[in-house]
Amino acid sequence: MKFEQRIPRETSARLFEEAQQYFPGGVNSPVRAFRSVSGPPLFIAEGHGSHMTDVDGNRFLDFCCSWGPLIHGHDHAHIRDKVIDTVRKGTSFGTPNLLSNQLGQLILDNHRYVERLRFVSSGTEAVMSALRLARGYTGRSKIIKFDGCYHGHVDSLLVKAGSGLATFGTSSSAGVPENVARDTLVLPLGDRDLLEQTLTEFSSEIACIIVEPIPANNGLLIQDRSWLECLRIKAWKHNVLLIFDEVISGFRVGFEGAAGLYDVQPDIITFGKVIGGGFPVGAYGASKEIMDFIAPVGPVYQAGTLSANPVAMAAGLAALELCLEPGFYERQASRTDQMATQIEAYAREQGYPLHVPHIGSIFWLAFGTERIERADQIDPDNMKYFKMIHHELLQTGVYLGPSGYEVGFVSSAHSEVDLQEAVAKICAAMDVAFAAEAVLSVD
């Protein structure tokens, strides 16, 4: 269908055309290219609180929140002031610094599931390092991952399921050697029998099981606690390590992330996004015994020029201080639940095939009426609805990530008025999308 542009996007369109001369596809991360939705991508000029403004002067209520890091919204005064104060003293030294000690202590004092940390510069780097640590600690090479869980652009995890249910993975990206993909076993989420079968068959070769405890990169595939407990028990039984990838869920659904929410102890946890307060930061953590395998005290090498950069440490410290305020996570979860429940109620009232899975301050617009727990339950044909809803929301000043497979985030900067505005506009966008689909079906 033809999309009517009711807001100016000429400057963004011109900048995007120019950007294509500099960057592959005009972007520095693929989904930013808006290929799953309509029109050119928006070039954002500034953000304050719950809103951001593009180069054409359009103002948007933002539920992408830089893909999750901005749990306190844009330009929060406490974070900004801490960053500016740090920048005035220098931006990078390549040495230990006090701020990394302070952030490390803050996390470890308030997180029961890790005893030692190593800061890196991204969630992908954290996952890559955690896998190397698991292989170094166990002396084994193979890993188990699950279809529908995304762990960054690490070669051995850019792997999709092969022709059988439990197969050696096949590369899902050019440039990933097949011999790398062969060390990754891809299983469906929730299949306990197949997990046991795979662990039994390859137990002497498997270093670790890696999972998003709250899969949130391919829809929001909320799992039962019993599944995570099963992973923990199976890992102990077969003497393999369990890695929770909490790049999204860490410090988002609670200060202790999904590990704390479900009270399941993984062997290694990876962090990103919220931990950096809007700056590029990742980390991985585990027990002292496991982390002592990392250089310089152990044989597993990992290093980074900008790891624990003082400016990023300052931002992360300020952000997590705010997260530790009493009742912070309870308020976030309650407000998100209220918003999601109102949208769902309207969809049911109108007979629209849409529901809103949510946990903590994460939500997802899911099409259909049945609970979705695995990636293969998502019907790609339903993304036509998201494309229409996304377009309509842009015209009315609401910004969601430009893909129906991406989740949304509520920040502490979103006021009750903001959330009620979002509910009204999302419901109105559903009216447009499903009415358009009805017309197309008749035609």
Residues acting as catalytic residues: 150, 245, 273
The dihedrals phi and psi of 93, each to the nearest 5 degrees, come to -125, -20
Question: What b/e sequence results for 189-207 when a residue is b if at least 16 CB atoms lie within 10 Å of its CB, and e otherwise?
Answer: bbbeeebeebbeebeeebb
Among the listed residues 150, 106, 158, 156, the one whose alpha carbon sits nearest the alpha carbon of residue 321? 106
- Please give the C-alpha separations between residue 132 and each of 137, 241, 270, 285, 398, in angstroms, as whole numbers: 8, 12, 13, 13, 41
Q: Number of C-alpha atoms within 13 angstroms, CB side, residue 18? A: 7
Alpha carbon 60 to its chain centroid, in Å, reads: 21
Which strands form 398-399's sheet, in the order they lie side by side? 44-48, 51-54, 59-62, 398-399
Count CB-CB contacts under 10 A for residue 440. Answer: 10
Per the CB < 8 A criterion, the answer to whether 58 and 397 are in contact is yes
